[in-house]
């Protein structure tokens, strides 16, 4: 039986807990000071305190907000006595900060996205280079239970955030924009939104199956003098590619700023 303790039962922590507890070979224990958040989680053992959870579990997942972590480090380090293995989903909190404050190199960072709630998260998995092979393997197993996982070095997490963690919101906005275009052309919004969503899913499925460059696939849809090329021209005139690239860069830059702030806060605790 594989075991894990989760500290924090917010949207992300709760989603991960539910995904893991639904697996027969996983035993999940969880603690959150707000008991209302844990009572709705089925199949999880509810720890009586954070200290009890840390003392009883070897592998622990930190699912609390980054600004909360500095106040928890002394408790976690004392209860863990440097013998625990840690996974953190706290955005912007570096491996250096985690390692220093938890007193161990057995640390892995996760950067999941909102789709963890439906077990379709795209998650960056970034282990401390000195972490054990067993922790790296187990962390990847955990991430893959609630979606797909990509092992990345820490200096690429900001870029990952720009095209996954934050970009899931861009996709939602794209759904809405497509649907509103459909409304302008006479479709009711709910129907237009459903069509837009399924079209995006069909495009993703085709690209995943074929593995082709997206530009090549787009070109296949464009016939000479046809409807699609007119739409593509409108996107180009509106700076579609440049705007999306700018959004990725803006999110990545903000992530780096938050990480630097978290690093300074971690050193002060």
Q: What is the pLDDT along the chain (269 residues), one digit of tens a residue?
A: 899 999 999 999 999 999 999 998 999 999 999 888 888 888 899 999 999 999 999 999 999 998 899 999 998 988 877 689 999 999 889 999 999 999 999 999 999 999 998 999 999 999 999 999 999 999 999 999 999 999 999 999 999 999 999 999 999 999 999 999 999 999 999 999 999 999 999 999 999 999 999 999 999 999 999 999 999 999 999 999 999 999 999 999 999 998 888 777 755 44
DSSP class of residue 62 equals E
- Cα separation, 42 vs 57, in Å, equals 19
Domains recognised in the chain with CATH numbers = 2-153 (3.40.50.720), 165-250 (1.10.3730.10)
Q: What is the DSSP letter of 110?
A: E
pTM of the full predicted structure?
A: 0.90
d(CA 223, CA 195): 22
């Amino acid at each position: 039986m594989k075991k894990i303790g989760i500290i924090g039962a917010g949207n992300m922590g709760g989603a991960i807990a539910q995904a893991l507890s639904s697996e027969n070979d996983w035993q999940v224990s969880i603690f959150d000071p707000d008991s209302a958040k844990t009572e709705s989680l089925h199949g999880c053992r509810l720890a009586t305190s954070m200290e009890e959870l840390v003392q009883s579990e070897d592998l622990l997942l930190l699912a609390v907000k980054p600004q909360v972590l500095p106040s928890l480090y002394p408790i976690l380090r004392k209860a863990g006595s440097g013998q625990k293995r840690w996974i953190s989903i706290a955005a912007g909190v570096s491996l250096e900060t985690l390692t220093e404050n938890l007193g161990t190199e057995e640390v892995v960072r996760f950067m999941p996205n909102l789709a963890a709630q439906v077990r379709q998260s795209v998650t960056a998995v970034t282990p401390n280079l000195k972490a054990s092979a067993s922790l790296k393997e187990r962390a990847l197993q955990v991430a893959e239970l609630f979606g797909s996982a990509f092992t990345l070095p820490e200096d690429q997490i900001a870029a990952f955030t720009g095209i996954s963690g934050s970009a899931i919101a861009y996709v939602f906005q794209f759904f809405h924009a497509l649907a509103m275009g459909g409304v302008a052309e006479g479709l009711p919004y709910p129907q237009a939104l459903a069509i837009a969503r399924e079209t995006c899913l069909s495009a993703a499925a085709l690209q995943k199956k074929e593995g082709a460059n997206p530009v090549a696939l787009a070109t296949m849809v464009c016939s000479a003098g046809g409807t699609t090329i007119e739409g593509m021209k409108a996107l180009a005139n509106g700076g579609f590619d440049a705007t999306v690239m700018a959004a990725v860069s803006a999110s990545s830059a903000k992530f780096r700023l938050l990480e630097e702030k978290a690093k300074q806060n971690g050193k002060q605790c």
